[in-house]
């Protein structure tokens, strides 16, 4: 029985559902009766097949749906990869292109199919090629992201500034197989950044000139007064000379007027010249004392100005010209806030900032504080929150750079600025500059006795005849032998043809026609390394080098100078 029962099962194996149904019906027709055990087995087999068929159909539908999702996802990924705003490229250890998206291919100016296998370095400018190769080395050695900026040369022409961000991809043996790199075109960003920097620089200088313009009326008034006095004294002195009288008082008046004019010019020059950051140890009290007269002229008669200086004030390391600019800008703002008059208080004081008063921009330590307070119309909290923003202004004709300039300068000096204000109650700005334990350089004390004499030989080179004549007369009166020239070329000829005692000192203007003072000094120093050099100029900027400072061994005399000042400086240089 068992053997006969297994035969139908073997017979049914491998049949499809339709074949099994046909076979079952054939057996029933042949026997005329319904089969018992084989029939039951066949029924169960048919049921199992139906269940499996349903399961297979469901699995098939799931597979089809999954395949569709995978294809859709792959398509989306391909679009995201190819049309991303940044370029993507995979590079092998030699820097050959393994895989690249369309964005990167467009950057390089080629077809993707043609770029595979090419050296990426062939699209890098020659000046940046070494940097790129180092980038590959760094990527291979690193386990983290590597950044670089380089310049590309697309085959279509032009150039691109790009930023590279690479990550290493490990191979099967644990070494770096290749680098995956994202490339961002930063050309426009860098151009915009440079344009903004240049614009800010121009506008900052323009803002400085704006403050000078506000001074122009008062300065012109003072100069006209000085010139009126000088011309008047000259005419009176001439009349006295014609009458045989000595014009002593008139000459003193002329000298005093000229000295006041020179002092005023020096103040304006120090404030208005374009210069780089030149820090030195300063006493802010001395700085404020030097600005006192100019500030009173600037603020006007309807505003009371009070200056309180701490007698024990510490020293700071800062650029004098920039500190002056900060104070001038704050004073101008205060004046504009007191249209109907008021009171302006400028104060210096030592202060200690502890942990409780410190914050991110003001670390604990010793500071010198400068405060500028006014009784003007004040500011709202909304205005205060934006006053240091570039181009933000509440004035109809303002540039919006005054306080932005102040903020930038203070931060450049490692300082901090704060503001307190209330509408209708005035404004107070406080500037904190780090205190240093150094002494300021003491000014040279000019002896009160007669200027020193000498016997050395001096070559004097100056293109302005009147200045050259006065300087030569002064030096000859002190006993020096003086050779004169009007420019560098003439001075070299004079030195070559000179047969007398050696030339001990060259005094030369800096800017002259044909040949300037610097080139002349080099030429004479090559002939005689022992010769001393003294430069003179009406603008110290003529002597400022690339770093914005005079060399420590450069001797310089600022114009205008008095005969005694020239004599003392000559002696100082010769005896140094």
Average pLDDT, the chain: 80
Alpha-helical regions (H) of 499-545: 517-527
Contact between 484 and 576 under an 8 Å Cβ cutoff? The reply is no
- For 448-466, the pLDDT digits (tens) are 456 688 899 999 999 989 8
Please give the full DSSP string across 212-239, using - where no structure is assigned: HHHHHHHHHHHHHHHHHHHHHHHHHHHH
> CB under 8 Å, gap of 24 or more: what pairs does 190-197 form?
190/161
pLDDT at 135: 92
pLDDT at 440: 63
Query: Residues with Cβ < 8 Å from 336, sequence gap 6 or more?
Result: 376, 395
Tell me which CATH code domain 87-185 carries: 3.30.450.20
Domain 194-274, architecture per CATH: Orthogonal Bundle (1.10)
What pLDDT does 131 receive?
92
Identify the three-state secondary structure at position 65.
Answer: helix
Superfamily of domain 457-575: Response regulator (3.40.50.2300)
pLDDT of residue 39: 57
Of 525, 511, 512, 513, nearest to 553 (Cα)? 525
8-state DSSP, 275: -
What does the pLDDT read at residue 67?
78
SS3 318: strand
Most confident of 15-19, 151-155, 546-550: 151-155
What's domain 279-442's architecture?
2-Layer Sandwich (3.30)
SS3 of 117, please?
Answer: coil
Rounded distance between C-alpha atoms, residue 528 and residue 546, angstroms: 27
Q: Are 510 and 543 in contact (CB under 8 A)?
A: yes
Q: Which residue do the tokens 């500059």 mark?
A: 433
- Calculate mean pLDDT across residues 192-200: 86
Residue 177, class by beta-carbon neighbours within 10 Å (0-12 exposed, 13-18 middle, 19+ buried)?
middle
Contacts of 316 (CB under 8 A, 6+ apart): 281, 282, 284, 368, 413, 433, 434, 435, 436
Listed in sequence order, the residues at least 6 apart from 197 whose beta carbon sits closer than 8 Å to its beta carbon are none
């Amino acid at each position: 029985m068992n053997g006969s029962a297994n035969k139908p099962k073997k017979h049914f194996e491998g049949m499809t559902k339709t074949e099994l149904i046909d076979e079952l019906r054939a057996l029933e027709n042949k026997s005329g009766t319904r089969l018992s055990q084989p029939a039951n087995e066949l029924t169960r087999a048919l049921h199992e097949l139906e269940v499996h068929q349903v399961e297979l159909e469901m699995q098939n539908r799931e597979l089809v749906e999954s395949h569709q999702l995978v294809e859709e996802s792959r398509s989306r990924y391909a679009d995201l990869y190819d049309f991303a705003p940044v370029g993507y490229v995979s590079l092998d250890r030699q820097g050959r292109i393994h895989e690249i998206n369309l964005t990167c291919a467009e950057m390089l100016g080629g077809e993707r199919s043609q770029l595979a296998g090419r050296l990426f370095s062939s699209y890098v400018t020659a000046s940046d090629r070494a940097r790129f190769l180092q980038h590959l080395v760094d990527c291979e050695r690193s386990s983290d992201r590597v950044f670089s900026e380089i310049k590309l040369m697309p085959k279509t022409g032009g150039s691109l500034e790009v930023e590279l961000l690479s990550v290493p991809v490990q191979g099967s043996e644990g070494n770096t197989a290749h680098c995956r790199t994202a490339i961002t075109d930063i050309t426009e960003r860098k151009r915009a950044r440079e344009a903004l920097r240049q614009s800010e620089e121009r506008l900052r200088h323009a803002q400085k000139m704006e403050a000078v313009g506000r001074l122009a009326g008062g300065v012109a008034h003072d100069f006209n007064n000085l010139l009126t006095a000088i011309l008047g004294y000259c005419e009176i002195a001439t009349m006295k000379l014609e009458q045989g009288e000595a014009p002593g008082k008139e000459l003193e008046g002329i000298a005093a007027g000229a000295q006041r004019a020179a002092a005023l010019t020096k103040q304006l020059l120090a404030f208005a010249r374009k210069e780089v950051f030149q820090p030195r140890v300063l006493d802010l009290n001395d700085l404020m004392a030097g600005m006192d007269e100019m500030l009173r002229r600037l603020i006007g008669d309807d505003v009371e100005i009070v200056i309180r200086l701490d007698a024990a004030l510490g020293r700071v390391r800062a650029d004098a010209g920039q500190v002056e600019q900060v104070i001038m800008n704050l004073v101008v703002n205060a004046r504009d806030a007191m249209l109907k008059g008021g009171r302006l208080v400028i104060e210096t004081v030592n202060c200690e900032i502890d942990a409780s008063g410190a914050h991110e921009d003001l670390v604990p330590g010793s500071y010198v504080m400068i405060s500028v307070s006014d009784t003007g119309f004040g500011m709202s909290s909304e205005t205060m929150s934006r006053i240091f923003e570039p181009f933000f202004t509440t004035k109809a004709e303002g540039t919006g750079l005054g306080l932005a300039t102040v903020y930038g300068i203070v931060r450049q000096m490692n300082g901090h600025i704060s503001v307190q204000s209330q509408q209708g109650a005035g404004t107070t700005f406080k500037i904190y500059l780090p205190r240093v334990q150094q002494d300021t350089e003491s000014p040279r004390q000019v002896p009160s006795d007669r200027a020193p004499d000498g016997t050395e030989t001096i070559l004097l080179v100056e293109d302005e005849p009147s200045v050259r004549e006065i300087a030569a007369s002064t030096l000859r009166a002190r006993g020096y032998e003086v050779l004169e020239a009007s420019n560098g070329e003439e001075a070299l000829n004079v030195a070559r043809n000179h047969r007398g005692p050696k030339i001990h000192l060259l005094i030369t203007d800096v800017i002259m026609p044909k040949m300037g003072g610097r080139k002349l000094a080099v030429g004479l120093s090559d002939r005689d390394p022992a010769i001393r050099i003294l430069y003179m100029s009406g603008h110290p900027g003529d002597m400022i080098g690339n770093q914005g400072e005079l060399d420590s061994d450069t001797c310089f005399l600022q114009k205008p100078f008095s005969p005694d000042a020239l004599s003392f400086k000559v002696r100082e240089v010769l005896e140094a």
